[in-house]
A and B are shown apart, each in its own frame.
Chain A
Amino acid sequence: MKYAVDLHIHSCLSPCGDELMTPNNIVNMAYIKGLDMIAVADHNTARHLPTIEKVAKAVGVGLLPAMEITTMEEVHLLAYFRTVEQAVRFSDVIYPHLPPIKNKPAIFGEQLELDEDDEPVGSEEKLLISALDLSIDEITAMILEHGGLAVPAHINRGSNGLLQALGFVPPGCDFSALEVSIGMPLPHKGIPKKLVQLHSSDAHYLENMFERVEFLEMDSPDAEGFFRMIEEGRWPVSGSTDAQSVNSRLD
């Protein structure tokens, strides 16, 4: 079946995520927009996922556990997992690799952790957008070991896109898909043809979350469905790197 998804959304735990990106706001906005499955991918942490999973279950929106890792090369790399437990375990493993630089909320924004009623329960002291001291090759291998999928984020975007930092997709890295930013040119060279290309909003504000514009052919709108889709190499059904076609769908 075709399911509408947005697989790259930031919560208010990410310093750059708007304070309105609370678990309830994100999930209910996804519900209102008619999204079947979302992925909340905070920078270098999965700490918000247990709460977001509770809310998503209560509302009835599928959740693909995720995080967005910053590699040593300053490349943003999405990690998708089958379960929140796996994601949290991985988050704990990489946490010591995040440098001990403290967040300055006035500059980078708050890093707030909320409960299922959107009440604050804590905040992260270390700056979550710092680069880990692990290379993209090392982190990719670690994600796979932990049962996840590694997907370079917004590869064709300027800042922190793989193509800017590393010039081209490194051969030999075991990526499961590529996230391509809509509305930005994608070079013809240096992109493995076989890798599935995904498109997501990378929303830091509620209003930037996708409408029903990106559809995946999955058996079910959950992590199992997504993993099977990737294993079988199925591309998004109506996803497109062509900004105009997406915009016309939005109109």
Chain B
Amino acid sequence: MKVKELQEKIGAAVLTGDVGLENEIESGYCCDLLSWVMAHGSAGMAWVTVQTHMNVIAVATLHEMSCVIIPEGAQMDQEIANKAAEEGIAVLCTDKPAYEICGLMYAGGIKAGEE
């Protein structure tokens, strides 16, 4: 599934323009401890997190993720999203809870990453 398709499926807004919407999603992940994600992230991941710090973008870039999804109306500064755009990573945001987003991703065929 491409990021664009996921964005429509979960009805999310996009903070990064057209950047990364064509990225292919390889797996889904949900975690708010960045040290944990650094250890367990992988390429092509769609990562759901309520953390909105600049370090989120650094970790997503490190793993060459496809997109970051900010759930539950959490606010990411546009300046931080712009950094993601520079790195080719899409940032989506929505009022939906993380649990529901993960359910929709899973039902859409996105599986957990392989350990």
**Which A residues are within 8 Å of any B CB, using their own CB?**
73, 135-137, 163-168, 170, 172
Interface status of B51 (Cβ within 8 A of chain A): yes
Q: Interface 1/0s, chain B 55-93, versus A by CB < 8 A?
A: 100110000000000000000000000000000000000
**Which B residues are within 8 Å of any A CB, using their own CB?**
33-38, 51-55, 58-59
The B contact surface, by secondary structure, is helix
Q: Which of B34, B35, B38, B52 contacts A135 (CB 8 A)?
A: B52
| B24 → A minimal CB distance (Å) | 25
Which residues on the B side are within 8 Å of A168 (C-beta)? 34, 38, 55, 58
Q: Which of A136, A137, A167, A170 contacts B37 (CB 8 A)?
A: A167
Contact A73 B53 (CB under 8 A): yes
Q: What is the CA–CA distance of A164 and B37 in the complex, to the nearest angstrom?
A: 10
Which residues on the A side are within 8 Å of B33 (C-beta)? 164-165
Residue contacts A-B, CB under 8 angstroms, 6 given: A135-B52, A136-B53, A137-B53, A164-B34, A168-B38, A168-B55
Q: Who on chain A is nearest to B51 by CB? A: A73
| A113 → B minimal CB distance (Å) | 33
Contact B55 A135 (CB under 8 A): no
Q: What is the CA–CA distance of A17 and B6 in the complex, to the nearest angstrom?
A: 47
